[in-house]
Amino acid sequence: MRLLVVEDDRDLNRQLVAALEQAGYAVDRAFDGEEAFFLGETEPYDAVVLDLGLPKRDGISVLTEWRKIGRTMPVLVLTARDRWSDKVRGFDAGGDDYVAKPFHVEEILARLRALVRRAAGHATSEIVCGPVRLDTRAGRVLVDGNPIKLTSHELRLLSYLMHHTGRVISRTELVEHLYDQDFDRDSNTIEVFVGRLRKKLGVEIIQTMRGLGYLVAPTTPGGT
């Protein structure tokens, strides 16, 4: 999963990015409204943390313009403002959730997990595909009830595929959602990670759709 953090306070931005990366996300960052709008317009984020009080361009106008051009990624509005009218403006502009400063990072993580999960059509923090169970809250994977140890990249890949069960995901889409903008991207590495995942899971829930990408069936293992 790939996120964007937009916060002009550099210390807070750094703290949020560090916490999100530790939780297993690929994270890009922006420090003003113009940079934020450009990234949100051109990059395929799974969710955005957006401060409203930004230099160059305020968060409300950024969010409003994203929605006008059809950008539908979930947005968690982050601001020091605690008046109800500011909350209403954030929601009316297209925000999906709201957190006022000061906050606990754990709340940010929980709200983002919920936004990403709901955007993918999942109602609970656990996603099950055949014998494989992904606990999005704990970042844990179990096969037939037994925990499986995965690297952060393997977990990120499996999480994206399981969040989008029933849909063929191309290698290009996986690269765009698994790595931040500074990462040296190579779609060939996806095939390597898929091979490792299959070996560690020991069950074939990841199907290769030749020439198209990969598919995780919503309820049954199966695959090639």
Predicted confidence (pLDDT) per residue in 29-80, tens digit: 999 999 999 999 999 999 999 999 899 999 999 999 999 999 999 999 988 7
The CATH code belonging to domain 2-119 is 3.40.50.2300
What's the confidence (pLDDT) of residue 89?
A: 87
Own/partner contacts of 90-93, CB < 8 Å, gap of 24 or more, are: 90/52, 90/59, 90/60, 90/63, 93/60, 93/63, 93/64, 93/67
Does residue 68 or residue 187 have the better pLDDT? 68
Confidence of residue 183 (pLDDT cuts 50, 70, 90): low
* Share above pLDDT 70 across residues of the chain, in percent, rounded to a whole number: 93
Contacts of 72 (CB under 8 A, 6+ apart): none
Strand partners, 70: none
What tokens appear for 27 in the block?
């994270």
Per-domain residue ranges of the chain = 2-119, 126-216
Region for residue 130 given its phi and psi (left: phi exceeds 0; alpha: psi -120 to 50; beta: otherwise): left
Phi, psi of 95 (to 5 degrees): -70, 150
pLDDT at 79: 82
| Residue 108: both structure tokens together | 């940010």
**Range with lowest mean pLDDT among 2-16, 111-125, 142-156:** 111-125
C-alpha distance across the termini of the chain, in Å: 24
Q: Is the pLDDT of residue 219 over 80?
A: no
Backbone CA torsion sign across 148, 152, 154, 159: positive
C-alpha–C-alpha distance, residues 112 and 107, integer Å: 8
In this prediction the pTM is 0.79
The helix (run of H) or strand (run of E) holding residue 134 is: strand 132-135
126-216 CATH? 1.10.10.10
Structure confidence by residue, pLDDT tens digits, 15-34:
999 999 988 899 999 999 99
Q: With bands split at pLDDT 50, 70 and 90, how would you rate the model's confidence at 221?
A: very low
